[in-house]
Chain A
Amino acid sequence: MSRYLLFRLADAVPTVFLVLLLVFIAMRILPGDPAIAALGDMATAEQLALFRERMGLNDPLWLQFIMFVKGVLTLDLGNSMMSNQSVVGLILYNLPYTIELTIVAMLMGLIAGVPLGVLAATHRNKLPDSGVRVFSLVGYAIPDFYLGALLLITFALNLGWFPINGGGTDFASRMYHVFLPALTLAFVKAAFIGRLTRTSLLEVLSKDYVRTARAKGAKERRVIYRHGLRNALLPLTTGLGLSMLATLSGSVAIEMVFNRPGIGKLLISAIAERDYAVIQGGIVVFAMFVVVINLLMDLLYIVVDPRIRMN
Chain B
Amino acid sequence: MSSILETSSQLLPPEPSLLRAIKGVLFGRPGTIAAVIIIVVFVIVAVLAPVLAPYDPLTQSMLKINRPPSWANWLGTDQFGRDVLSRMIYGSRNSLIFGMISPLSAALIGTTLGVVAGYFGGIIDRVISRVVDLLLAFPELLLAIMIAAVLGGGFWNVIIVITIAFVPGFARVARAQTMSIKHEPYVEAAISVGVRTPVIIFRHIIPNIMAPIVVLMMLWVASAIRLEASLSFLGIGTQAPNPSWGNIIKDGLSNIFGSPWPIIGAGTAITLVVLAFNLVGDAVRDALDPSTSQ
CB distance from B17 to the nearest CB of A (A): 29
CB distance from B36 to the nearest CB of A (A): 16
Cα distance, A253 to B142, chains bound together (Å): 11
Establish whether residues A253 and B278, one from each chain, have CB atoms under 8 Å apart when the complex forms: no
Contact of A149 among B145, B249, B279 (CB under 8 A): B249
Cα distance, A283 to B148, chains bound together (Å): 11
CB distance from A171 to the nearest CB of B (A): 28
Given A137-B275, A143-B271, A290-B137, answer yes or no on A152-B147 (Cβ-Cβ < 8 Å). Answer: no
Chain B contacts of A248 at CB under 8 A?
A: 139, 142
CB of A210 within 8 Å of the partner chain? no
Establish whether residues B138 and A267, one from each chain, have CB atoms under 8 Å apart when the complex forms: no
Establish whether residues A253 and B235, one from each chain, have CB atoms under 8 Å apart when the complex forms: no
Question: Which stretch, A23-31, A68-76, A96-104, A225-233, touches the partner chain B?
Answer: A23-31
Interface residues of A in 197-246 (CB under 8 A from B): 199, 202, 242, 245-246
Counting chain A CB atoms within 10 Å of each CB, the highest count among B131, B134, B147, B226 belongs to: B134
Establish whether residues B226 and A143, one from each chain, have CB atoms under 8 Å apart when the complex forms: yes
Given A149-B249, A149-B263, A242-B139, answer yes or no on A283-B279 (Cβ-Cβ < 8 Å). Answer: no
CB of B116 within 8 Å of the partner chain? no
Chain A, Cβ-Cβ closest to B229: A143
Given A271-B152, A286-B146, answer yes or no on A141-B278 (Cβ-Cβ < 8 Å). Answer: yes
Q: Is the interface of A mostly helix, strand, loop or mixed?
A: helix
Cα distance, A27 to B152, chains bound together (Å): 12
Chain A contacts of B118 at CB under 8 A?
A: none
Establish whether residues B142 and A249, one from each chain, have CB atoms under 8 Å apart when the complex forms: yes
Q: Mark B131-169, 1 if CB is under 8 A from A, else 0.
A: 100100111011001111111100000000000000000
Establish whether residues B275 and A30, one from each chain, have CB atoms under 8 Å apart when the complex forms: no
| B: number of interface residues (CB 8 Å) | 42
Across the A-B interface, how many residue pairs have beta carbons closer than 8 Å?
125
Chain A contacts of B274 at CB under 8 A?
A: 140-143
Cα distance, A146 to B262, chains bound together (Å): 11
Cα distance, A252 to B233, chains bound together (Å): 11
Establish whether residues A145 and B230, one from each chain, have CB atoms under 8 Å apart when the complex forms: yes
Chain B, Cβ-Cβ closest to A272: B235
CB distance from B201 to the nearest CB of A (A): 28
CB of A85 within 8 Å of the partner chain? no
CB of B21 within 8 Å of the partner chain? no
Chain B contacts of A147 at CB under 8 A?
A: 267
Establish whether residues A153 and B263, one from each chain, have CB atoms under 8 Å apart when the complex forms: yes
Contacts from A to B (Cβ < 8 Å): 15, 18-19, 22-23, 26-27, 30-31, 37, 137-138, 140-143, 145-147, 149-150, 152-153, 157, 199, 202, 242, 245-246, 248-250, 252-253, 256-257, 264, 267-268, 270-272, 279, 282-283, 286-287, 290-291, 294
Instruction: Known pairs A140-B278, A141-B274, A143-B274; list 5 more (Cβ under 8 Å).
Output: A30-B151, A138-B275, A143-B230, A149-B249, A252-B234
Contacts from B to A (Cβ < 8 Å): 130-131, 134, 137-139, 141-142, 145-152, 222, 226, 229-230, 233-236, 249, 252-253, 256-257, 260, 263-264, 266-267, 270-272, 274-275, 278-279, 294
Q: Can you list 23 pairs linking A and B with CB atoms under 8 Å apart?
A: A18-B134, A37-B152, A137-B279, A140-B275, A143-B233, A143-B271, A145-B233, A145-B249, A146-B249, A146-B263, A149-B252, A245-B138, A245-B142, A249-B139, A249-B141, A250-B141, A253-B230, A267-B149, A271-B235, A279-B149, A279-B150, A287-B138, A287-B146
